[in-house]
Structures are given as structure tokens and as C-alpha cells.
């Protein structure tokens, strides 16, 4: 499947029926999702792999991974309503996605990693921390990601690379970066523009060392 074909397919995914501002529930744009997934696929991190979408929302990244030939796809989110939509989207696009309700930012990373199980690749669009309830929420996502998979592709605010590198310390490295734009449509009363373009970067995070899933669980990050 070509990049443009993937983008067109992902545009069929329904968004949040009743998005919550406190949870920063914004649908990942099909163009950005396709770019992340296609780059991951070109690096050999999707096709034939076990892929986990952390904070999946309505499932666009998980479904895209399945369309690109992932062997197994899991999608994790704390919102049961979003998971319901993710299941419907997966059915609509003819993909097989296992959906799990779990709060990544509200649980110990090692316990949650055990529940989710090991993966080859994590894809994620974690909260940017614009709402006070989500300040530093991306740290829990990074912790969980590197606990369950050796490679992670995540969407972060532009300029986040130094923070991510410092937070990873000796646990991982930023092995790739692609600039992008995240258009946020007017969704809540506090929005003042019809569309707000947010500069973002897609980071490829590689876990350092050869620790297995079992070793990660016994030595939580």
C-alpha cells in the first residue's frame, strides 16, 4: 500500500463522538498518522510485527498498522467510548485489532506492561500536556512504550527532542525525527480558531541494551 492510499483509507476512520478536553481527545489527522506509519514500515518496524498503539483514541494508528501488514495489533486507551469507536473503525476497514481499556498515565508502567504484553513496535500520539491534568503525561507513555517494545514511534510537540533524550537517560535514544503539522479543528468552547496548526515532530525511539520483556518487568523503568 502506498502512502497516499494509506492516507485515503485512514480518512474513513470516525473521530471522537463526545471528545473530552481534559483528556486532550483530538483525532490524529490521517496525513500525520499515515506519515508516521509509512516511515515505520519503511524501517521494517510494521509488516509482520506485533504493534501496540498506546493511547489509541479511535484507533487510527492501530488500524493503519494493520493495513500495512502488522502480524498482531493491540490498541490501548482509557476511554471505553473511544475503544468502542476504535472497534467499529477496525471493522469498517476490515482489520483485526485487539482493543484494551487501560489508563497508561494512571498506572504503574511495569504492571501495565505485563497486562499488555511484549510488542515489536509501539506507535503513539500521547497527550501534549496542554491541560493541567495531563502535565507530564507523556512520560508515562514513554515509560510504558520502552518497557514493552524495542522501538517506538511517537508524535510530540516540536522541540521535544532534547526533553525526550534527557528523560530516556540510558534507557533509550532518539534514533530518528520527522517534522510535521497537527491541525486541530475547533472542538471546544475555548478554541478561538476554526483550525489551529500545531508544529510537531515524529520521533523514533530505540530502546538501548538487549533487555527482554521479562527483564524490563523485573527492573521497571
Q: What is the pLDDT of residues 6-61, one digit of tens each?
A: 999 999 999 988 877 666 778 899 999 999 999 999 999 999 999 999 999 999 99
> Would you say residue 131 has pLDDT above 80?
no
Highest mean pLDDT among 14-28, 63-77, 173-187: 63-77
Per the prediction, the chain carries an average pLDDT of 86
User: pLDDT tens digits for 93-112?
Assistant: 999 999 999 998 776 666 88
- Closest CA relative to residue 116, chosen from 58, 77, 151: 77
Decide if 52 contacts 119 (C-beta within 8 A): yes
- Report residue 209's pLDDT band, with 50, 70 and 90 as the boundaries: low
**Domain ranges in the chain?**
31-218
DSSP string, 108-162: -HHHHHHHH---SEEEE----S-SGGGTTHHHHHHHHHHHH-SEEEEEEETT-HH
* Domain boundaries 31-218, corresponding CATH code: 3.40.50.150
> Would you say residue 193 has pLDDT above 70?
no
> Would you say residue 218 has pLDDT above 60?
no
Tell me what the mean pLDDT of segment 168-178 comes to: 94
> Would you say residue 197 has pLDDT above 90?
no
Q: What is the pLDDT at residue 137?
A: 73
Sheet arrangement for strand 172-185: 98-101, 72-77, 50-54, 121-124, 151-157, 195-207, 172-185
| Cα 125 to Cα 7: distance, rounded to the nearest angstrom | 17
| Cα 96 to Cα 79: distance, rounded to the nearest angstrom | 20
- Report residue 214's pLDDT band, with 50, 70 and 90 as the boundaries: very low
Q: What is the pLDDT at residue 191?
A: 47
Amino acid at each position: 500500500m502506498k502512502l497516499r492510499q494509506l492516507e485515503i483509507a485512514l480518512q474513513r476512520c470516525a473521530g471522537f463522538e463526545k471528545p473530552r478536553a481534559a483528556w486532550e481527545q483530538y483525532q490524529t489527522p490521517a496525513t500525520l498518522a499515515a506519515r508516521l506509519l509509512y516511515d515505520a514500515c519503511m524501517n521494517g518496524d510494521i509488516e509482520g510485527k506485533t504493534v501496540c498503539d498506546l493511547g489509541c483514541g479511535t484507533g487510527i494508528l492501530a488500524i493503519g498498522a494493520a493495513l500495512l501488514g502488522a502480524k498482531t495489533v493491540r490498541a490501548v486507551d482509557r476511554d471505553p467510548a473511544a475503544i468502542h469507536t476504535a472497534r467499529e473503525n477496525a471493522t469498517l476497514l476490515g482489520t483485526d485489532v485487539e482493543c484494551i481499556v487501560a489508563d497508561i498515565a494512571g498506572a504503574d508502567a511495569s504492571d501495565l506492561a505485563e497486562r499488555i504484553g511484549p510488542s515489536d513496535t509501539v506507535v503513539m500520539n500521547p497527550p501534549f500536556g496542554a491541560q493541567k491534568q495531563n502535565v507530564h503525561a507523556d512520560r508515562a507513555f514513554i515509560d510504558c512504550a520502552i518497557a514493552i517494545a524495542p522501538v517506538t514511534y511517537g508524535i510530540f510537540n516540536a522541540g521535544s527532542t532534547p526533553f525526550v533524550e534527557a528523560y530516556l537517560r540510558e534507557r533509550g535514544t532518539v534514533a530518528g525525527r520527522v517534522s510535521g503539522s497537527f491541525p486541530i479543528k475547533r472542538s471546544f468552547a475555548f478554541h478561538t480558531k476554526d483550525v489551529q496548526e500545531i508544529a510537531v515532530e515524529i520521533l523514533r525511539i530505540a530502546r538501548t541494551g538487549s533487555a527482554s520483556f521479562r527483564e524490563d518487568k523485573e527492573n521497571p523503568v
